[in-house]
């Protein structure tokens, strides 16, 4: 079970929906405090974050990255990360 699947099963919403709910709640509290500039109040709550909405793709990217790292092995990874030094003058 992935974290995403666990989160949906446990809370009944996706992580993106929960993050958006919290963002809107924070926005509403700040607006209600009277400290928010009028132009921000007029804009309304923040729109959904496109990165958060693409949570599944982001998780898949992290999984692929971990698999590539594991496939390379420690020595090959170090060798691939080395940048050749310029020759001495």
Please write the tens of the pLDDT for every residue from 4-53: 788 888 888 888 888 888 889 998 998 899 888 888 888 888 877 666 65
Q: Residue 70: give the domain boundaries.
A: 3-81
Contact (CB, 8 A) for 45 and 39: no
The vertex-16 CA angle with 59 and 66, nearest 5°, equals: 10
Q: Is the pTM of this model over 0.85?
A: no
Query: What would the two tokens of residue 33 be?
Result: 């405090």
Residue 87, domain member (yes or no): no
Residue 86, domain member (yes or no): no
Query: What pLDDT sits at residue 88?
Result: 60
B/e letters for 19-43, b = 16+ CB within 10 Å, e = fewer, are bbeebeeebeeeeeeeeeeeeeeee
Residue 47, domain member (yes or no): yes
Query: What pLDDT sits at residue 25?
Result: 92
Query: What would the two tokens of residue 9 be?
Result: 């099963």
Q: How many independent structural domains does the chain possess?
A: 1
């Amino acid at each position: 079970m992935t974290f995403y699947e666990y989160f949906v099963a446990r809370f009944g919403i996706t992580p993106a929906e929960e993050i958006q709910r919290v963002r809107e709640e924070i926005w509403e509290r700040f607006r209600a405090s009277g400290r928010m500039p009028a132009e921000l109040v007029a804009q309304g709550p923040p729109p959904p974050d496109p990165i958060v909405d693409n949570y599944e793709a982001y998780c898949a990217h992290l999984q692929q990255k971990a698999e590539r790292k594991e496939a390379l092995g420690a020595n090959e990874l170090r060798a691939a990360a080395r940048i050749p030094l310029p020759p001495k003058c």
